Homo-oligomer: A and B are copies of this chain.
Amino acid sequence: MDNPLSLRIEAFTRLSREDKAALNQLAARSVREIDARRDIIREGEPPRYVRLILDGWACRYKMLPDARRQIVSLFLPGDFCDLNVYILKEMDHNIGALTRVRFSEIGREAMDAVTTTHPRITQALWWHELVAMAVQREWTLNVGQRTAIERIAHLFVELFLRLKAVGLTRRDSCDFPMTQTDIAEATGLTAVHVNRTLQQLRRDGLIQLERKELTILDLDRLKDVAMFNPNYLHLNREGRHLDAND
């Protein structure tokens, strides 16, 4: 019954059974699947749908004319891509699949229908959007001020906590499908330097990363290294005053 989607939303406020049903129905209507390394939508295209990641990892990225590339955000299961994007004429960035991704495409009408009839969901979606903005700000801080080891440590902690929130961690480890090149593009470093920095994190006994699985050996120390402040994730059920009670 509890999937990443409802877990994600309920990190803000508890939904009623009826809310959950409406949400799951919304998510189930039009499901698509795409291979790893393929683009879901490209810069310049008109955004027609809100997308919801059901399974797999995706990313938003931007490119410079000379092919420098920056991953500006990551989408994990339960994440929506841009509520209300269809207000804009064209995409100013790309969304690409890092792994094989299952996602649902939600049209404007379906979205509007749910939000007008389910105020609690509407509030939760607003919360989701505000959190997405907060994460984007934290990433700006990350690439702007942190050193290589701090950036990567920060990325690991953030992703671990986000995955945990949607039930996708096992004790102290989780899937971690990003390549070192992906990590480089998300942190504004080069792949070579990411490699060396990962070795340092391993040497320091902070993490283990092999076969696309990340194990965090010492979360507290890793947080310290990253100067991680979890406040920007707003995961403390901040909308609990809106909780449904059925």
Chain B min CB distance to A96 (Å):
14
A90 near B231 with CB under 8 A, answer yes
Q: Given A62-B138, A137-B62, A231–B92 Cβ distance below 8 Å? A: yes
- State the copy count for this chain: 2
Partner of A68, one of B139, B145, B231: B145
Most buried by B among A66, A141, A143: A141
Asked if A236 lies at the interface with its beta carbon under 8 angstroms from chain B, I say yes
- What are 22 pairs between A and B in contact, CB < 8 Å? A60-B137, A62-B138, A64-B141, A64-B145, A64-B227, A69-B145, A70-B140, A70-B141, A70-B145, A84-B126, A87-B123, A88-B127, A90-B231, A92-B134, A92-B232, A92-B234, A133-B136, A136-B136, A140-B140, A140-B143, A143-B188, A144-B188
The A130-153 residues at the B interface (CB cut-off 8 A) are 130, 132-134, 136-141, 143-146
Complex: A228 Cα to B182 Cα, angstroms = 24
Given the interface pairs A143-B140, A145-B68, A145-B188, the reply to whether A133 lies near B132 with Cβ below 8 Å is yes
Please give the distance in Å from A119's CB to the nearest CB on chain B: 11
**Chain A contact surface mostly:** mixed
Given contacts A132-B133, A133-B133, contact A141 B72 (CB under 8 A): yes
Q: Provide the residues of chain B in CB contact with A227, threshold 8 Å.
A: 64-66
Chain B residues with CB under 8 Å of A236's CB are: 89
B residues within 8 A CB of A161? none
